[in-house]
Structure 1
């Protein structure tokens, strides 16, 4: 009788939280305590919200070797099967070997004698680590997130993998009985060594699109992604740009700053502050991305400090609505039109038009935006068709009834790279973007925040035009009417 009562108490305690469950079965399996850090508490709380149905799209960004897989993959899945032996899970990782190893880890937990006593009916029916079921019909399907990137017959293998994964996703998302029915758990979908490859990143992102997102037909089907940040275009970055309001993001940098501005380590048991500072010294880029969850390569960026943002434009003594427009030099370049309020405090960006569309599209659209924002002074670079563009934009403004905007053009003779570099500090000091500008102007944001001081940049149109907004401060332009007399 006492034994039954003890089992009930332990069962209730372990199912109270993911952290309780992990601590208990970690000690049962390894015969030592699971050392709990504050990040484990935060991760467990987020996973508990998934179990309760309060969160269905969860991203957890944490450094490697901080216990994320043990807690958020192996024990989370084992606990899900304890809650509902009929639950089904899909687990993805960057390689089949790693996915299967994690699958084996789940099996080892539920084969523990203590687990079997507490949760009978959840025994695996096979030792297959790719796809297995419990005696109650639940189970796990584990596979690579990227498929076979190289090798003979890769295309065929990829097609078979995607078809099987798609079928598993559809089956999981069809479960809707009001209880927790399982989840898609993605752990390290891309290998750190492959993260710099756009080909591999795109392959992972597109596999998510084609075989997961488009086939999850129930918002109740949870998707959890656990990974260290590796690149701005990794799966986490891709999803947050695409669906900024859909995902709950738990980002856990290894160095935190308290309310007094003092730096503290996230988990001193793993790394002291001195050890973390040494890691940063050895490789600042790896440290910023993988440890601080900041995928922007800070070293070598033109705009290292980031930009100030605003929600409400303050009252100022001076304010002039201006626009700086850089027309595209080649077919691959962008037209960049920045509309801003110039004040004695700085330039408050009101709108950005950044596009590769042809001039028959950009001329009327530029005129429409100038008119909408009641721009007083529009300055256009004339290096490549800018003079004709300026004439046409002014004509379009007048057709729209806009007689307020003064349009002027000029020839930019200074070296573009030198201008951008020399004015970079002023640009950062004097420019205010609207809060959330990374979502309002995603391509422009990327080309500004990833622009490097040294090396080949894909596009310089965005920083070139932004530099122009600072160069033209307090300058009185000529009107086109006076130029062409």
Structure 2
């Protein structure tokens, strides 16, 4: 075998051949050139984005929006590697890359230049940078190239085949005026830069900032395909894509699963939630910017009351348990509800971070304090210890099987209770604001423990209230429990009220519980 033949069939040669045909293979080879010794963590979402970008070049006139959280390689893959790969295959192509500042855009172009001048790139492609090679622009030897522009100054007299917009606004400089100016600049100064709008492409890669940021406005206007990937999946995701090699694949994430666990551990995410506001985390990391009334439960769905509903209802408690006192951990939550027919009154919220050895005793204490007729506790983790403690205290505990559906699906099943004004919240309580903030932000807020306890209660209570099932351990109608001697006359306890012997009332019990001598 000749030396040239052996070289052509070497493993490195095969990698280079694959990189010419498959953008994801190219992306992996380019990673160490810019990131040095940093570890490349293969993640399914990167392969999916690579497949989408590769198909973009094969679809004339198609425009794409990609929303990704910070630190997920969105700029490197879309604004650095992708232009380099396209220029390698089609060296006459012209790119315009626009960012919120010229400094950021210049950095991207410099990284792109480093790739194209690297030994690895030049072993893959024959495209070379020509004599026009300045900090913010370079051209290939056959007339293609890359131009850096910013949202600070309009480009004039220059055209492109690909318009790449990478984070058009700073996260720290968001005002209604700035949002409007960003869209105006895009439509007036950038949109006209495409040499052939019928075959050119617009690629927008950014983290979300506000509901009416540039991505939000372009999505509302139409004409763009959208890929939006939150850091944490809010429900099960199944996204199909077609890689360059092989058959179609499906990117699957379960609710709560992280986009890239190798880069973002549970501790890292909890630290982010602790440091950021609900609004910032929901927008930048979950790609779901919050608006007033923009969650699943709307402000207008909430009915409130002051004081306490001293009704003849049944007190039910619902627990969502956690096991760490650390300030970054989730809370343990106990919601105390008054259930009266088809009405549910939230009377008290207990929400603290507690250790597993203290939590069971606290559950017993709260159940006795509120005279709870039933306590709902999920059969998971420390919940088992709470269930045992409540049973040992002769309290009516209702073990709840660990849910199989997502948090979003569980709220969706009982959201009608809010919409039909069956749920009332005590508005003068100290816990009211925290509870409302979490409820209205769900599923994009930092915490969901109070929402979880709410859905657990409502999904248990609604079938009983609507007569679809019965719980023999809980009576939802008042009855006489015992008699108490009073001054001159007997006093009977009926539900949460009292009736003196001979006094008029509308709670006359029937059946075997009618007390002897009662009139």
Shorter-chain TM-score range:
0.5 to 0.7
Size of the alignment, in residue pairs?
283
Distance in 1, Cα, partners of 2:131 & 2:15: 25
- Residue 5 of structure 1, CA deviation: 4.7
CA contact 2:96–2:162 (8 Å) conserved in 1: yes
Task: Spell out, residue by residue over 1:110-158, the C-alpha distance to the aligned partner (whole angstroms, 9 max, x if none).
Answer: 01012123222322434412222111211001011x21xxxxxxxxxx4
> Within 5 Å, which residues of 2 pair with 1:13-412?
13-29=18-34, 30-31=36-37, 33-53=39-59, 56-144=62-150, 146-147=151-152, 158=153, 161-162=154-155, 164=156, 167-169=157-159, 172=160, 182-195=161-174, 197-216=175-194, 217-243=196-222, 246-256=223-233, 257-258=235-236, 262-282=255-275, 283-297=277-291, 301-302=292-293, 304-306=295-297
Task: Spell out, residue by residue over 1:271-311, the C-alpha distance to the aligned partner (whole angstroms, 9 max, x if none).
Answer: 123432342243221110000001124xxx3463257xxxx
Please state if 1:3 is matched with 2:7.
yes
CA contact 2:61–2:200 (8 Å) conserved in 1: no
Task: Return the structure number with greater helix share.
Answer: 1
Determine the structure 1 residue equivalent to 2:245: none
Residue 426 and residue 40 in structure 1: after superposition, are their counterparts in 2 closer, same or farther (change >3 A)?
closer
Determine the structure 1 residue equivalent to 2:490: none
Distance in 1, Cα, partners of 2:172 & 2:103: 16
TM-score by length of 1: 0.54
CA contact 1:204–1:235 (8 Å) conserved in 2: yes
TM-score by length of 2: 0.50
> Within 5 Å, which residues of 2 pair with 1:418-457?
429-430=419-420
**Could you say what secondary structure the match of 2:147 adopts?**
strand
Residue 189 and residue 427 in structure 1: after superposition, are their counterparts in 2 closer, same or farther (change >3 A)?
farther
- Residue 10 of structure 1, CA deviation: 3.4
**Could you say what secondary structure the match of 1:117 adopts?**
helix
Task: Spell out, residue by residue over 1:181-210, the C-alpha distance to the aligned partner (whole angstroms, 9 max, x if none).
Answer: x41111101111112x12222221111111
Q: Which 5+ residue runs of structure 2 have no aligned equivalent?
A: 238-252, 299-414, 422-439, 442-519
Distance in 2, Cα, partners of 1:292 & 1:103: 28
Determine the structure 2 residue equivalent to 1:341: none
CA contact 2:283–2:289 (8 Å) conserved in 1: yes
Task: Spell out, residue by residue over 1:316-346, the C-alpha distance to the aligned partner (whole angstroms, 9 max, x if none).
Answer: xxxxxxxxxxxxxxxxxxxxxxxxxxxxxxx
Distance in 2, Cα, partners of 1:274 & 1:266: 15
Between structure 1 and structure 2, the one with the greater Rg is 2
Determine the structure 1 residue equivalent to 2:491: none
Root mean square deviation, CA, Å: 2.7
CA contact 1:37–1:267 (8 Å) conserved in 2: yes
CA contact 1:254–1:266 (8 Å) conserved in 2: yes
Distance in 2, Cα, partners of 1:428 & 1:43: 39
CA contact 2:61–2:197 (8 Å) conserved in 1: no
Task: Spell out, residue by residue over 1:239-279, the C-alpha distance to the aligned partner (whole angstroms, 9 max, x if none).
Answer: 11122xx1110001000133796411111111123432342
- Residue 233 of structure 1, CA deviation: 1.4
**Could you say what secondary structure the match of 1:125 adopts?**
strand
- Residue 428 of structure 1, CA deviation: 6.0
Determine the structure 1 residue equivalent to 2:310: none
State which drifts further: 266-275 or 182-191. 266-275
Determine the structure 2 residue equivalent to 1:176: none
Residue 427 and residue 63 in structure 1: after superposition, are their counterparts in 2 closer, same or farther (change >3 A)?
same
Distance in 2, Cα, partners of 1:38 & 1:8: 25
CA contact 1:255–1:273 (8 Å) conserved in 2: no
Distance in 2, Cα, partners of 1:235 & 1:80: 25
Distance in 2, Cα, partners of 1:261 & 1:268: 13
Distance in 2, Cα, partners of 1:92 & 1:253: 24
- Residue 24 of structure 1, CA deviation: 0.8
**Could you say what secondary structure the match of 1:276 adopts?**
helix
CA contact 1:26–1:33 (8 Å) conserved in 2: no
**Could you say what secondary structure the match of 2:127 adopts?**
coil
Q: Which 5+ residue runs of structure 1 have no aligned equivalent?
A: 148-157, 173-181, 308-424, 432-448, 451-485
